[in-house]
Amino acid sequence: MNGKFLLYSCASALLAVGIGFGVTQLAGLPVLAVIVSALVAAFGAFAAGRALAGGALRQAGEAVCAVAANPSRSLSNTDPSLAPLFTSLEDLRQAFKNDREYKDGILRGLPMPYLLVDTNERALSTNRACLNMLEIDDSIESCLGKTLAHLFYNDPTRKTAVGKSMATGECFKNLEVTIGGHKGGKVNVLANVFPIYNAEGACIGGMCVYVDMTALNEAQRQITEKNQRMAEVAQALEETMDELAEIVVALTGSIRQSDKNAAIAAGQLKEAASSMGHMNARVQEVAGNADKAAEASGHTMSKATTGAEVVQNALHGIENVHRVTLDLRTDMATLESHARAITEIMNVISDIADQTNLLALNAAIEAARAGEAGRGFAVVADEVRKLAEKTMASTTDVGRAIEAIQQSAAKSMSSMDNAVQQVEQATDYAKQSGEALDAIVGTVENTVGQVKAIAAASEEQSAASEQITHTIDQVNHMVADTSQSMGQASMETDKLQELTDKLEDLTAQLKV
C-alpha cells in the first residue's frame, strides 16, 4: 500500500513537469495552464504534509510494533500516556488518505488523456479521455494492469516510447503522433513521455500525457486553405485592380482631353458665331455696295475709254525712253573703254616710279661710297626717291579710283541693260494694257448685270447667315452642357481612382 501511494505521489509531482512540456506548444489554451498550476500546488501540499508528519512517524513506531505484536489489543486500552501518539498517528493516516484522494481526484479530472504505468509498463492509472482516444468502451478498472502496448496496439510484445524513456531516462516532449483507435479512428496528438523516480533516484514507473491536436490541425488546415484561397482572391483582385487602374487612367486622360477639346470647341464656336455676325454684316454691306457698283460701272466704262487713250500716250513716251536708254548705254560703254585705257597708262607710270625709286637707291649707295664729295648728290637722290614713292602712292590711289570708276561703269552698263529690258517689257505691257482696256470696256457692260445678280444673291446669303448664327448658338449651349458633364465625370473618375487605391491597400493587407 505504501509503495503504491508513494508511486502516486511521485507521479502527481512529475505530471506537473510533463504537462509543462505541452504548455509551450499550446500556450493559447488557458485551461491547460490552470491544470498545471493545480498539480504543482497538490505536489507542494503533499511535500509539506510529509515534512510535518516526519516526527510523528518516529514517535509512533513503538506503538505500531505493540499493536502488531498483539492485534487484538485496542488502541484505546493502551497506556493513556500513548494517547497523544495515537492521535498523531490517526492524523497522519487521515493526511495520507486525504492527500491520495486529492491526487486521485486531480488525475481523474484531467481533461487530456494520460496513462501512468509501472516499470513493467502495466497501467496503474488512466482516465476516460485516454480510453475514448483509443476507442475502448471498457471500464477504467478493467484496463488497469494491462500493458501500454496491449492497450494501444493490441500487441504486448511491441516496444513503446515509455519503455524507452524508463530504460534511458530520456524525456520525449511534444512528439507529433497519430494514434490509431481500436475501431479504426485516427487522432493526431502531442505526446509527452517521461520516467518517474523515487527519492532514492530509482525508476518506479512512467507517465504519458497526450494533447489532442486533431481539431487544432483541422482548424489549421482550414485556415491554411482559406488563406490560400484569400491569397488567390487577392492576386486576382490585384490583377483586376491593375487593369481597373489602367482603365481609370486612360478614362481620366480621355475625359480631360475631351474637356479640353470641348473648351476649345466652345471657343471656336464663339469665334464662329462672331465671324458669322461679321460676315452677315459684310453680306449686307455687299448687297448695298452691289447697287453702288452697278452705278459705278457706268463711270468705269468712261474711265476705261479715257485710260485707253492715256495708255497710247504712255506707249509713245516709253518708246522715247527706250531710245534714250540705248544712247546712254552706248555712252557708258565708251566710258568703260576710256577707264580701261587710263588703267593701262597708270600701270606704265607705276613701273616708271618703281625704276626711279630703284635708281635713287643705287645713287644713294654710290654717293655714300664717294664720301664727302657725294653728299650733295645723296641729297638729290633721296629727294628723287621720296618723289618716286609719292608717285607710286598717287598711282595706287588713282588706280583705285579708276577701278571704282570701272566697277561703277560695269554696274551702270548692267543697270542700263536691265533698263532696256524693262523698257521693252513696259512697251509690251503698255500694248497689252491698251488691249486690256479695250476688253474692259466690253466687260464692264456685262459687269453691270452681274452686279445686280450679286445684290440679289447677297440678300439670300444674309438670310442664310442669320440661320447659321442661330444654329451655332444652339450648338454652343450644347457644348457648354457637355463641358459641364465632362467636369462632373472627371470628378467621378478621381473618386474612382481613390477607391481603386483603397482596394489596392486592402489587397495588400490580404496578402500579408
Q: Is the per-residue pLDDT at 152 higher than 60?
A: yes
CA pair distance 255, 188, nearest whole angstrom:
62
Grid coordinates 518517474 are at which residue?
196
Cell numbers at 93, concatenated: 493516516
Q: What CA–CA distances, in Å, run from 354 to 227, 347, 348, 387?
A: 114, 11, 10, 11
pLDDT at 140 (0 to 100): 92
The answer to whether 448 touches 300, Cβ cutoff 8 Å, is no
pLDDT grade for 503, boundaries at 50, 70 and 90: confident
CA pair distance 123, 11, nearest whole angstrom:
13
Mean pLDDT of 189-213: 92
pLDDT at 222 (0 to 100): 84
CA pair distance 192, 36, nearest whole angstrom:
14
Cell numbers at 363, concatenated: 645713287
Q: Is the per-residue pLDDT at 168 higher than 80?
A: yes
Q: Is the per-residue pLDDT at 149 higher than 80?
A: yes
Longest dimension (CA), the chain: 194
Q: Is the per-residue pLDDT at 31 higher than 90?
A: no
The answer to whether 174 touches 145, Cβ cutoff 8 Å, is no
Burial class (CB in 10 A: 0-12, 13-18, 19+), 11: buried
Mean pLDDT of 149-166: 92
pLDDT grade for 134, boundaries at 50, 70 and 90: very high
CA pair distance 463, 199, nearest whole angstrom:
126
Kindly report the number of other CB atoms within 10 A of residue 166's CB atom. Answer: 25
The answer to whether 119 touches 2, Cβ cutoff 8 Å, is no
Cell numbers at 412, concatenated: 551702270
3-state secondary structure string across 262-298: HHHHHHHHHHHHHHHHHHHHHHHHHHHHHHHHHHHHH
pLDDT at 120 (0 to 100): 95
Strands (E) across 12-154 are located at: 114-117, 123-126
The answer to whether 53 touches 47, Cβ cutoff 8 Å, is no
The mean predicted confidence, pLDDT, of the chain is: 73
The alpha carbon of residue 449 and the mean position of all alpha carbons in its chain are separated, in whole angstroms, by 75
CA pair distance 165, 205, nearest whole angstrom:
10
Most confident of 3-17, 134-148, 391-405: 134-148
Per-residue model confidence as pLDDT tens digits over 80-132: 666 776 677 777 778 878 777 777 777 767 788 999 999 999 999 999 999 99
| Residue 123 main-chain phi, psi, to 5 deg | -70, 125
pLDDT grade for 57, boundaries at 50, 70 and 90: very low
Burial class (CB in 10 A: 0-12, 13-18, 19+), 255: buried
Cβ contacts of residue 290 below 8 Å, gap of 6+?
451, 452, 454, 455, 458
Most confident of 118-122, 356-360, 456-460: 118-122
Alpha-carbon dihedral sign for residues 494, 498, 500, 504 = positive
Q: Is the per-residue pLDDT at 387 higher than 60?
A: yes
Instruction: Quote the percentage of the chain above a pLDDT of 90.
Output: 17
pLDDT at 118 (0 to 100): 96
Least confident of 41-50, 204-213, 354-363, 427-436: 41-50
Structural domains of the chain, ranges and CATH numbers in brackets: 2-212 (3.30.450.20), 231-511 (no CATH)
Q: Where on the phi/psi map is residue 215: left (φ > 0), alpha (ψ -120 to 50), or beta?
A: alpha
Mean pLDDT of 381-396: 77
Q: Is the per-residue pLDDT at 501 higher than 90?
A: no
Mean pLDDT of 298-325: 71
Mean pLDDT of 66-70: 51
Q: Is the per-residue pLDDT at 167 higher than 80?
A: yes
Q: Is the per-residue pLDDT at 193 higher than 80?
A: yes
Per-residue model confidence as pLDDT tens digits over 239-292: 777 777 777 777 777 777 777 777 787 777 677 667 767 766 776 776 677 667
Mean pLDDT of 383-407: 77
Mean pLDDT of 434-460: 70
pLDDT at 65 (0 to 100): 52
pLDDT at 87 (0 to 100): 79
Grid coordinates 489554451 are at which residue?
29
pLDDT at 325 (0 to 100): 73
pLDDT grade for 221, boundaries at 50, 70 and 90: confident
Question: What is the CA angle 185-134-104, rounded to 5?
Answer: 150
What's the start-to-end Cα distance of the chain, in Å? Answer: 61
Cβ contacts of residue 107 below 8 Å, gap of 6+?
11, 12, 15, 114, 116, 125, 127
The answer to whether 172 touches 193, Cβ cutoff 8 Å, is yes
- pTM passes above 0.85: no
Cell numbers at 146, concatenated: 494491462
Cell numbers at 390, concatenated: 609719292
Closest CA to 40 of 17, 22, 8, 73: 17
Most confident of 186-200, 321-335, 467-481: 186-200
User: Is the model more confident about 194 or about 322?
Assistant: 194
User: Is the model more confident about 426 or about 68?
Assistant: 426
Kindly report the number of other CB atoms within 10 A of residue 218's CB atom. Answer: 11
Amino acid at the residue 326: L
pLDDT grade for 424, boundaries at 50, 70 and 90: confident
Burial class (CB in 10 A: 0-12, 13-18, 19+), 69: exposed
Q: Is the per-residue pLDDT at 170 higher than 90?
A: yes
Cell numbers at 196, concatenated: 518517474
CA pair distance 365, 369, nearest whole angstrom:
6
